[in-house]
Amino acid sequence: MFQQNVSLKPFNTFSLEAKAGHFKAFNSVEELKEALNHRKGLELLVLGGGSNILLTKDFNGLVLKNELKGIELVRETEEHYFVEVQAGENWHQFVLTAISNDWAGIENLSLIPGTVGAAPMQNIGAYGVEIEQVFEKLKAVEIATGEVHTFSHADCQFGYRESVFKKELKGKYIITSVTFRLNKEPVFNTSYGAIKDTLDEMGIEELSIKAISDAVIQIRQSKLPNPEEIGNAGSFFKNPTVDKIDYEGLRAEFPGIPGYQQPEQKMKIPAAWLIEQAGWKGKTFGPIGVHKNQPLVLVNYGGGEGAKIKELAFEIQQSVATQFGVELTPEVNII
Ligand SMILES: Cc1cc2nc3c(=O)[nH]c(=O)nc-3n(C[C@H](O)[C@H](O)[C@H](O)COP(=O)(O)OP(=O)(O)OC[C@H]3O[C@@H](n4cnc5c(N)ncnc54)[C@H](O)[C@@H]3O)c2cc1C
């Protein structure tokens, strides 16, 4: 039923070596339920593209690798397309499919690695858009019972890189499909980051979802290390949110500190700025380190250990806390 002692190196974008005691790739919900029935108390790890995990040791339980495939237009209204996507589909391939069908709303989320099923877990977001904005519902198998449950937008309790699946329901469900509500009439979102400038540089005269996607791809390729070349899991930490009054105190001490207004008198501070100011940008420690252009990205240049990356992350948290009194929380799931 299960493969034994499988290397997880090809299945995590940090390219870290760790062994799974038991391993099973599933292609259907039936196969998934059967695997759950046979697991006999083994601890579980559900794996999508492995682009948001840090493996710190061998995993002696059962790794279930999601290979559920399929993209289906299930319903249409005057304004929207409702598209159900199986959880094992590659996120970026789905974005490209949406663009080629003129389904608008996720073009700003181009080139984010990983699977569709993991996307609601942390409400993936980039360039001013989060998936909760186009989320309709999802289906998930309850691990304890094998029953399929449907979750509405409200059920998922989305927040900044958060959902109920990272909180109360952590480790209780396996997401099997996600239904998106995509727009027939695009609403172009070019105000964030360098999208406008990049569109100008590309000589784009007529805005389209394809043009925005192309611009986002170009920006991301120039800014972020490609996991196929340097092991990483994207942003290692979330951008911290602090009370406005505390932010004002910080700004008095550190006049250059950037901050973005949030609801309820809060401010979001770019974690990359804090890490860079604390002196970590570009530091290497043998085979691991902090990326030279993107201090929010921890990297494995090859042959590094997950446990050492975890230690490095801890040291970064400590030094940012000491210097700024701000707590950094990992975005990456540490296993
Ligand atoms: C270069 C790079 C850039 C990135 N940029 C961004 C970005 O701009 N914005 C952003 O939000 N994220 C970004 N990420 C993080 C990552 O791409 C997303 O978090 C993505 O959704 C992870 O998908 P995955 O399939 O690889 O998840 P995995 O890493 O396989 O899993 C992540 C977590 O979800 C759980 N999980 C996975 N699938 C399921 C499922 N079907 N049901 C239940 N639990 C599941 C896993 O057990 C694990 O805890 C980036 C990562 C990289 C490497």
Do residues 50 and 11 lie in contact, with contact meaning Cβ atoms separated by under 8 Å?
yes
| pLDDT at 258 (0 to 100) | 96
Residue 242 has pLDDT above 90, yes or no: yes
The region that residue 190 occupies, defined by phi over 0 for left and psi between -120 and 50 for alpha, beta otherwise, is alpha
Predicted model pTM:
0.96
Across the range 281-289, mean pLDDT stands at 97
Burial 25-39 (b: 16+ CB within 10 A, else e): bbeebeebbebbeeb
- Cα of 204 vs centre of ligand 1, distance in Å, is 31
Class of domain 3-66: alpha beta
Cβ atoms within 10 A of the Cβ of 161, count? 19
Fold match between 71-183 and 231-334? Answer: no
206 is catalytic: no
Residue 326 has pLDDT above 80, yes or no: yes
Residue 205 has pLDDT above 90, yes or no: no
Which residue in the list 39, 51, 89, 161 is annotated as catalytic? 161
* Short-list 84, 76, 93, CA closest to 139: 84
Residue identified by tokens 């699977």 is 115
C-alpha–C-alpha distance, residues 247 and 249, integer Å: 5
In CATH terms, 71-183 corresponds, of 3.30.470.20, 3.30.465.10, 1.10.10.60, 3.30.2130.10, to 3.30.465.10
| pLDDT at 199 (0 to 100) | 94
C-alpha–C-alpha distance, residues 33 and 26, integer Å: 9
| pLDDT at 192 (0 to 100) | 83
Do residues 73 and 179 lie in contact, with contact meaning Cβ atoms separated by under 8 Å?
no
Distance of CA 314 to the CA centre of its chain: 20
End-to-end alpha carbon distance in the chain: 24
262-277 pLDDT per residue, tens: 999 999 999 999 999 9
What are the distances in angstroms from CA 317 to CA 45, 123, 246?
26, 23, 18
* Short-list 293, 330, 291, 292, CA closest to 311: 330
| pLDDT at 161 (0 to 100) | 94
Average confidence score pLDDT of the chain: 96
| Cβ-Cβ contacts under 8 Å for 134 (sequence gap 6 or more) | 105, 106, 180, 181, 182, 183
33-90 pLDDT per residue, tens: 999 999 988 999 999 999 999 999 999 999 999 999 999 999 999 999 999 999 999 9
**Pair of tokens at residue 269:** 């501070």
| pLDDT at 193 (0 to 100) | 73
C-alpha–C-alpha distance, residues 46 and 190, integer Å: 35
| pLDDT at 33 (0 to 100) | 97
Mutate to test the pocket of ligand 1, among 112, 138, 334 (most ligand atoms within 8 A of CB): 112
In CATH terms, 231-334 corresponds, of 3.90.78.10, 3.40.50.620, 3.40.50.150, 3.40.630.30, to 3.90.78.10
- 162, amino acid identity: E
Across the range 146-166, mean pLDDT stands at 97
pLDDT band per the 50, 70, 90 thresholds, residue 225: very high
C-alpha–C-alpha distance, residues 185 and 183, integer Å: 5
C-alpha–C-alpha distance, residues 176 and 179, integer Å: 10
| pLDDT at 42 (0 to 100) | 95
**Pair of tokens at residue 181:** 């509500």
Residue 195 has pLDDT above 90, yes or no: yes
Burial class (CB in 10 A: 0-12, 13-18, 19+), 256: exposed
Across the range 113-129, mean pLDDT stands at 97
- Cα of 298 vs centre of ligand 1, distance in Å, is 15
Do residues 23 and 242 lie in contact, with contact meaning Cβ atoms separated by under 8 Å?
no
**Domain ranges within the chain, ordered by starting residue:** 3-66, 71-183, 231-334
Nearest CA to ligand 1 atom 53: 233
Instruction: Please give the DSSP secondary-structure letter assigned to residue 291.
Output: -
Mutate to test the pocket of ligand 1, among 8, 11, 121 (most ligand atoms within 8 A of CB): 121
| pLDDT at 232 (0 to 100) | 98
Residue identified by tokens 């979102």 is 189
